[in-house]
Structure 1
Amino acid sequence: MPYVHDTLFRLQKSSPAQTEFYQAAEEVLDSIRPLLDKDTHYREQGIIERLVEPERQIMFRVVWHDDQGRIQVNKGYRVQFNSALGPYKGGLRFHHSVNAGIIKFLGFEQIFKNALTGLSIGGGKGGSDFNPKGRSDMEVMRFCQAFMTELHRHIGATIDVPAGDIGVGAREIGYMYGQYKRLTGSYEGVLTGKGLNWGGSLARKEATGYGAVYFAENMLQDRNDSLKNKICLVSGAGNVAIYTIEKLYDLGALPVTCSDSQGTIYHEQGIDLNLLKVLKEVRRSSLEAYLDTHPTAKYIPVSDYPTDGHAVWRFKAHAAFPSATQNELTVTDAKVLLEQGVSCICEGANMPSTADAVDLFLGAGICYGPGKAANAGGVATSQLEMAQNASMTQWTFEEVDNRLKAIMCGIFQRSSETAKEFDQPSNLVLGANIAGFRKVADAMIAQGLV
């Protein structure tokens, strides 16, 4: 369709050198072609031209002192992409790989992910090229305070409510929230992922991982199957991966892998969840230390990875949960997974599979849950935290978990029903993208040229 092609061409001219952003935009725009053909008023209203341009992009300098008294300078970002459905909502990522293109790709994905939840939240994302790994608590605190000193001008409980992401956990949220409160004098739900004794929500830490597993179970149940007794591959070793593994065990599955930036663990008897939590949540150490307790497990350092993929996907299993970072699952990995008989891929990370890998999954007709649908549990529970903050209450873990389970079921149903509407019943990429796009686009049209 020349309309979509021309929009993508203009996007590359106006936003140069933002490869991940182009990838995310192309994936969405290609899959909504059937809707654009069917309902021409979206084209007449210039919806896709408006959607691919953020409402606001904020870039700023972050200056802070390290423990040796040296001045450090990082870049900070907040992209407020779309507010048609509610205040901007999306995490902050602190990682050396962060740049404007990464933040725009994540913010663009967030628009549709948030729309799919059925909750009143718009799409945004932010972060910095600061990497907290290896930094002392005091260094992290000084950076977070400097970061929030600028960011606080642009956020608010009914304007933009950031959360955590890679490199931003409870420690970083706490430091940023304290600085926001100091600068504004306001005790409000301006950040989610807060501590439980100062406005946080039970089950928030677990939500993305749990939600991905709930989504996978919905996909499998739709085909009269389940996760029970399934061998599962999980990548990553952060919150998403840890609580994906926890919920897989709860549902009777056997997760046998996890990974970090230095290597992959394969444990045929099943990942030792308690040990993994100690290594990553308490000691913040490499996964190689897993072998000290389980010497029969296998550790594959990054230096031994295949040149065309990742070791974590090279073991026989029934299901796979990419839960680390973007483009971690290559087309070669996808071929290996399919050859091994994997029948379910459910994405806990944002855009973790390359475009060619996704094409293979869709062509094979397996259960494939794209990230914008499958990993929406985190942002959904963030909105539940906002609701609790607004009413000055705290719900039980069971209440939040039950709401999360219902939200993930609703996301699957909306995606599945939309895919069937366009005669591609197994294509949840198309279903999720069209369902999310249509909700946002209709709101944009109703609100006029804003």
Structure 2
Amino acid sequence: MDAKTYIEETKRIWQEKYVNEPEFMQTLDEFVDSIVPVLERHPQYIDHNVLQVIAIPDRIITFRVAWTADDGSVQVNTAYRVQFNSDLGPYKGGLRFHPSVNLSILKFLGFEQIFKNALTSLPIGGGKGGSDFDLKGKSDGEIMRFCQSLMTELQKHIGPDLDVPAGDIGVGAREIGYLYGQYKRLRGFENGVITGKPLPIGGSQARTQATGYGAVYFIDKMLADKGQELADKRAIVSGAGNVAIYAIEKLEELGAKALTASDSNGYVVDEEGIDVALLKEVKEVKRQRLTAYADQRESARYYEGSVWHAELTADIALPCATQNEIDEQEAQQIVANGVKFISEGANMPLTKAATDELLAKDVYIGPAKAANAGGVAVSALEMAQNSARLRWSFDDVDQELHDIMDAIYANVSSAAEEYGFPGNLIKGANIAAFIKVADAMIMQGVH
């Protein structure tokens, strides 16, 4: 079977199977078109039916999480763990706590995670998990009891050499601490079973900063490849969580100016540059809305709606909020604002139409599976430190992160060039990662 026929047949099968999983279908569609020239050059991938095999997770675990609220009532949520592919190493991917969590979203995230992890060149496979639990309005005690209940079931399916979860949206150091504490009560001391831990209980220096820092290191390489520097660039950043905060911090450390931050209700514009210390106080310490930032900062203004509707003069953009946050109309506004470089801090923040619009206008896009791989890379470094019973310094981890992001950029850029897509980092990332995973699958016997 030739590559074109194989792709057409694979898409037909996927469309029938995943018609009710739109996010998963979107990521499959966006991925598969990139690798046509790979299949043409390497027919063994067709012979082993690698595409259709890799699109089905090794297993999906679904379970209920019953927990007791402060008022004594019993509440219940649904939780999932998608163990997608372990051909390069233990399943590795975050846990997300958010009302929007469903199987389609977790399969999309898990599929992306396979290839993101492959690009790090570290020995980790791909997985993802989470629950539709909503942290808003919950006390620390309620969050602790929820995490303990979830881990009571999840611990049966994870381990340092099997599946190593981490944090994601809604799951930070507090939640990881509760999850790890319950695992340890049930299974004993296995420090490397979960990453993103607080430092005193085996966490890694620079893990908190890693995804945001990595996205900035990646766009710095993108700029350098075009003969430009990050210094004095004006940046639009979405989000106000962990990724956005530390992307803003690194941007400003390297001489750029982050103009914005956003949450689910609106965004702030600060023409003097976002004050990172104030943003951390508002979002990390006091857990307030961004209106509190604007109230305390004379140069800042708060607006309702999407930050991607803002009319600003900017050079670069870092979408760090969530999937599909930028549609075609918003992409047009990004172009009108003067943005020429995008580094995706969030997973799949652009719709397909938005991506097409930006590429047509010669905007250089650093795709999520490459640009935001810094978080999982440092998670793998945390696993290594746990295994060796060592702790590296912040500077040592940060330097490793910088080197990993440089290597990812070089690998992705080279793959795009080799397979006929010079400058298209989206296709380059898909190609480089697919080849690595597909080769590993064939070496072990596709199963």
Same fold, judged at TM 0.5 (above): yes
Are the counterparts in 1 of residues 259 and 273 from structure 2 also a CA contact under 8 Å? yes
2:235 maps to amino acid: C
Q: Please report how far the alpha carbon of residue 340 of structure 1 lies from its aligned counterpart in structure 2 after TM superposition.
A: 2.4
Q: Please report how far the alpha carbon of residue 390 of structure 1 lies from its aligned counterpart in structure 2 after TM superposition.
A: 0.3
Q: Kindly tell me: are residues 20 and 313 of structure 1, through their superposed partners in 2, closer, same or farther at Cα, counting changes over 3 Å?
A: farther
Q: Please report how far the alpha carbon of residue 313 of structure 1 lies from its aligned counterpart in structure 2 after TM superposition.
A: 4.9
Which residue of 54, 60, 65 maps to 1:62?
65
Are the counterparts in 1 of residues 308 and 333 from structure 2 also a CA contact under 8 Å? no
- What does the per-residue CA deviation read over 1:382-425, in whole Å, with 9 as the maximum and x for residues that have no partner? 00000000000000000000000000000000000000101221
Helix, strand or coil at the partner of 2:191: coil
Q: Which residue of 1 aligns with 2:192?
A: 189
TM score, norm. by length of structure 1: 0.97
Matched, 1:347 2:344: yes
Q: Distance in 1 between matches of 2:128 and 2:310?
A: 29
Give the aligned CA root-mean-square deviation in angstroms. 1.1
Q: Which residue of 2 aligns with 1:437?
A: 434
Q: Distance in 2 between matches of 1:22 and 1:385?
A: 32
Q: Which residue of 2 aligns with 1:125?
A: 128
Q: Distance in 1 between matches of 2:273 and 2:41?
A: 48
Q: Please report how far the alpha carbon of residue 311 of structure 1 lies from its aligned counterpart in structure 2 after TM superposition.
A: 4.2
Helix, strand or coil at the partner of 1:139: helix
- What does the per-residue CA deviation read over 1:251-275, in whole Å, with 9 as the maximum and x for residues that have no partner? 1000000001111000111111111
Q: Distance in 1 between matches of 2:292 and 2:177?
A: 28
Q: Which residue of 2 aligns with 1:411?
A: 408
Which residue of 280, 290, 295 maps to 2:293?
290
Q: Distance in 2 between matches of 1:407 and 1:372?
A: 13
Q: Distance in 2 between matches of 1:311 and 1:107?
A: 27
Q: Distance in 1 between matches of 2:283 and 2:64?
A: 30
Which residue of 203, 213, 217 maps to 2:216?
213
Are the counterparts in 1 of residues 19 and 25 from structure 2 also a CA contact under 8 Å? no
Q: Distance in 1 between matches of 2:415 and 2:163?
A: 29
Helix, strand or coil at the partner of 1:448: coil
Matched, 1:371 2:368: yes
Which residue of 25, 47, 50 maps to 2:50?
47
Q: Please report how far the alpha carbon of residue 56 of structure 1 lies from its aligned counterpart in structure 2 after TM superposition.
A: 0.6
| 1:359-398 map, 5 Å | 359-398=356-395
Q: Which residue of 2 aligns with 1:337?
A: 334
Q: Please report how far the alpha carbon of residue 129 of structure 1 lies from its aligned counterpart in structure 2 after TM superposition.
A: 0.2
Helix, strand or coil at the partner of 1:285: coil
Helix, strand or coil at the partner of 2:155: helix
Q: Distance in 1 between matches of 2:446 and 2:40?
A: 23
Q: Distance in 1 between matches of 2:183 and 2:16?
A: 37
Q: Distance in 1 between matches of 2:224 and 2:163?
A: 36
Are the counterparts in 2 of residues 62 and 75 from structure 1 also a CA contact under 8 Å? yes
TM score, norm. by length of structure 2: 0.97
Are the counterparts in 2 of residues 89 and 124 from structure 1 also a CA contact under 8 Å? yes
Q: Distance in 1 between matches of 2:273 and 2:189?
A: 46
Q: Please report how far the alpha carbon of residue 3 of structure 1 lies from its aligned counterpart in structure 2 after TM superposition.
A: 2.0
Q: Please report how far the alpha carbon of residue 63 of structure 1 lies from its aligned counterpart in structure 2 after TM superposition.
A: 0.5
Q: Please report how far the alpha carbon of residue 335 of structure 1 lies from its aligned counterpart in structure 2 after TM superposition.
A: 1.1
Q: Please report how far the alpha carbon of residue 176 of structure 1 lies from its aligned counterpart in structure 2 after TM superposition.
A: 0.3
Matched, 1:175 2:178: yes
Q: Which residue of 2 aligns with 1:6?
A: 9
Q: Which residue of 2 aligns with 1:224?
A: 227
Helix, strand or coil at the partner of 2:401: helix
Q: Which residue of 2 aligns with 1:31?
A: 34
Which residue of 260, 267, 270 maps to 2:270?
267
Q: Distance in 1 between matches of 2:221 and 2:50?
A: 31
Q: Which runs of 5+ in 1 are unaligned?
A: none
How many pairs align?
A: 444
Are the counterparts in 2 of residues 174 and 195 from structure 1 also a CA contact under 8 Å? yes
Runs of 4+ deviating beyond 3 Å: 310-314
Q: Please report how far the alpha carbon of residue 447 of structure 1 lies from its aligned counterpart in structure 2 after TM superposition.
A: 0.1
Q: Distance in 1 between matches of 2:92 and 2:317?
A: 28
